[in-house]
Amino acid sequence: MTGDHGDSGVRVRFAPSPTGSLHIGSVRTALYNYLYARRHGGTLVLRIEDTDLKRSAVTHDRGILESLAWLGLQADEGPDVGGPYGPYRQSERASIYEAAVQKLLANGHAYPCFCPQELLDRKKEEQLARGEMPKYDRTCYRLSPDEVEARLARGEKAAIRFRVPEGEVTFDDLIHGPITFSSEVIGDFIIKRTDGGYSYNFAVVVDDAEMAITHVIRGEDHITNTARQLMLFAALGRPAPCYAHHSLILAPDGSKLSKRHGATSIAEFKAIGYLPAAIVNYLALISWHPQDEREKFSLAELTEEFEIERLSRSPAVFDIHKLNWLNGLYIRELPTEELSRLIAPYLAGAGIALQPVQREVVAQAIQANLVVLSDAPRYAELFVKDFVLEDCAAATALHSPHVPGVLQLARRHFAAMPEEFLLPAAAREVLHGLTEEAKAKGLKGKALYLPVRVALTGRDEGPELFYLIGGLGKRKILERLDAGLAYAVRSGECA
């Protein structure tokens, strides 16, 4: 029953509901639509399905637009950019839906239903008790036109039901292949509620038809909706789009991915410090297998490679470790200036204040350690956080007899630093000078660097020494070396 759109051009749509933050699974759907549109030179439409007025919120609406923009998945048409098929919010399209309802009523494909919900619930229970598939028994379809008119004239509220035709509905899914539904398991369903609202399946069909959507790419949880929607397209006399239903994202335990498994919304991932390029890259790889063995793709590269027919039908398991690995790769490729800008809010939130030159040095120093941007305070704190050597396990490295001489030598070189803070290149020169003189005195390697590191940080591992020299600042370096020297002397006296 899917239609042939000929050379009209590919038009796909992403249609989220603003009832919550944009879920990572929904973003995967948006990405597949984006890639398919770009690959085929088509159009991506963003449609906000906000007919659930009780749960929809402007903040969620805005959050969806902001999240998609942050990810780089800009739509060609939508509520924020306009287009020839607007409006692009369902709440603004009531007159379009009503015209379609009247058309179905006029051609006999729909009819008013006066049955109260209590009666419907009781009939459903009775059908289940008899082991039957629950569906509407068409009580109101059998009403005469005069009775319907009289009841409406008395002000009785009525829903509008679609009359399901007999037979089978078959469509060729781009991922799953041919799928067939029997109309016997589908009862006449409501397209307009008694409160005047329009059902999801009905509004979606009207929108897809009016917006000339050629391909619908969505999660496989919508497969059962497709039969109803294809019937509506036929009844409205409109060509149906092609369908592709991709697998859902599951948690590692096989259950539906939810908050109990960690972050699930794009807003949460952004707050933690994941980069948009890493998220897009990772989501593309869930269920999709590129032709080569690469795992790192830019959005442009994904567009060139993506083929929807190569999406796996198997459920996709969300692997946070794989996402973390990719995010770390992208962080390590960031220019220093950009990384410094990105980690600034996290450092400020942790009360870590850095000077301009210091920020650049610290960014370079911790870059290789970051998995997410919110890790930054944990690694950057050693540049600003004071410590007491007696409380540091690594302080045992200062107990050797040669340590006071090493620290005195280091102090002399660092006291001659030309600036309070040094960029890595200048700090390397200072460290080189110390290394050469220490070598002449028979000190090298761990015997030199470990005491200096422990005195400066209280730790026996961390960033390269030249980063510490450049980022700590001359005043703090000298203060810590003096404290380390005093500790080393005391340790030697106790020994």
How are strands ordered across the β-sheet holding 110-113?
110-113, 159-162, 190-192
User: Three-class SS of residue 448?
Assistant: helix
- Return the pLDDT at 287: 85
Question: For residues 476 and 391, is the Cβ–Cβ distance under 8 A?
Answer: no
Q: Smallest Cα–Cα separation from 383: which of 351, 410, 407?
A: 351
Give the containing element (helix H, strand E) for 20.
none
Question: How far apart are alpha carbons 310 and 35 in whole angstroms?
Answer: 13
pLDDT cut 90: percent of the chain above it: 82
Q: State how beta strands 11-14 and 43-46 pair.
A: parallel
Q: Which residues of the chain carry a pLDDT beneath 50?
A: 1-8, 495
User: Three-class SS of residue 106?
Assistant: helix
- For 385-440, the pLDDT digits (tens) are 999 999 999 999 999 999 999 999 999 999 999 999 999 999 999 999 999 999 99
Q: For residue 261, what is the DSSP state? A: G
Kindly provide the b/e burial profile for residues 429-459, where b requires at least 16 CB atoms within 10 angstroms of the residue's own CB.
ebbeebbeebeeeebeeeebbbbbbbbbbbe
Question: How far apart are alpha carbons 217 and 273 in whole angstroms?
Answer: 29
Give the containing element (helix H, strand E) for 46.
strand 43-46
3-state helix, strand, coil in the chain (%, to 5): 55, 10, 35
Question: For residues 72 and 280, is the Cβ–Cβ distance under 8 A?
Answer: yes
- Return the pLDDT at 252: 86
Question: For residues 485 and 408, is the Cβ–Cβ distance under 8 A?
Answer: yes
Q: State how beta strands 249-250 and 316-317 pair.
A: parallel
Question: How far apart are alpha carbons 20 and 64 in whole angstroms?
Answer: 9
Q: For residue 114, what is the DSSP state? A: -
Handedness of CA 410, 412, 413, 418 (dihedral sign): positive
Question: For residues 307 and 241, is the Cβ–Cβ distance under 8 A?
Answer: no
Which of the residues are catalytic? 259
Handedness of CA 466, 467, 473, 479 (dihedral sign): negative
CA distances from 494 to 61, 154, 488, 489 (A): 68, 102, 10, 9
Kindly provide the b/e burial profile for residues 32-50, where b requires at least 16 CB atoms within 10 angstroms of the residue's own CB.
bbbbbbbbbebbbbbbbbb
Contacts of residue 158, Cβ cutoff 8 Å, sequence gap at least 6: 112, 113, 114, 140, 151, 152, 194
User: Three-class SS of residue 168?
Assistant: strand
Placement of tokens 């370079």 in the chain: 364
Question: How far apart are alpha carbons 17 and 13 in whole angstroms?
Answer: 13
User: Three-class SS of residue 278?
Assistant: helix
Question: How far apart are alpha carbons 9 and 40 in whole angstroms?
Answer: 8
Biggest CA pair distance of the chain: 111
Question: How far apart are alpha carbons 111 and 148 in whole angstroms?
Answer: 9
Q: In sequence order, what are the beta bridge partners of 242? A: 215
Question: For residues 208 and 216, is the Cβ–Cβ distance under 8 A?
Answer: yes
Residue-level length of the chain: 495
- Return the pLDDT at 185: 87
- Return the pLDDT at 261: 59
Tokens representing 169 are 């509905």
- For 140-163, the pLDDT digits (tens) are 999 999 999 999 999 999 999 999
Give pTM, 2 decimals: 0.89
Contacts of residue 249, Cβ cutoff 8 Å, sequence gap at least 6: 24, 25, 28, 257, 286, 316, 317, 318
Tokens representing 277 are 């390029």
